[in-house]
């Protein structure tokens, strides 16, 4: 989790979030440095992000941003609508749980960044505990 100012676009912190990501494999129980595929919305459709992901061997499932088209591309990017909807709906559902079940996070009562981040971690733990039951 990385907290950014409200006037900064989320895509500016994409690389630092991906660098800090560690995943567990189910079969071997060892850490893997990167996911196989990333699902994100069309705001992340930039040459820098797509180049970063392809350099790391990660497939990008990002819809093309119509506003970002300046020149015709030689071939369209691959995009799977079914897996995109599944991946994005889980993210949106998580944020809905955060804002709906934990009013303190939606209203941002705490001024200290460390306190607010602690509440986010605690709420994430409670959501994961509830889902895994």
Opening angle at CA 33, ends 118 and 40, nearest 5: 70
Query: Which among 1, 5, 33, 6 is positioned nearest to 17, based on CA atoms?
Result: 1
What is the per-residue pLDDT across 104-133, written as a single tens digit (0 to 9) for each? 777 776 678 888 888 889 999 999 999 888
Name the DSSP class of 15. H
What is the per-residue pLDDT across 58-102, written as a single tens digit (0 to 9) for each? 888 888 887 766 655 666 678 888 888 888 888 888 888 888 888
In this predicted structure, the answer to whether residue 32 has a pLDDT above a threshold of 70 is no
* The model scores a pTM over 0.85: no
């Amino acid at each position: 989790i990385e907290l950014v100012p409200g006037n900064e676009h989320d895509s500016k912190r994409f690389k630092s979030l991906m660098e800090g990501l560690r995943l567990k494999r189910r079969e071997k129980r060892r850490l893997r440095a990167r996911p196989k595929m990333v699902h994100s919305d069309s705001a992340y459709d930039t040459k820098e992000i797509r180049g970063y992901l392809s350099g790391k061997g990660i497939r990008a499932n990002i819809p093309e941003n119509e506003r970002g088209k300046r020149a015709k591309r030689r071939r369209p990017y691959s995009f799977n609508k079914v897996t995109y909807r599944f991946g994005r709906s889980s993210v949106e559902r998580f944020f809905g749980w955060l804002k709906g079940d934990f009013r303190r996070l939606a209203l941002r009562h705490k001024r200290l960044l460390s306190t607010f981040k602690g509440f986010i971690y605690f709420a994430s733990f409670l959501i994961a505990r509830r889902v895994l039951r």
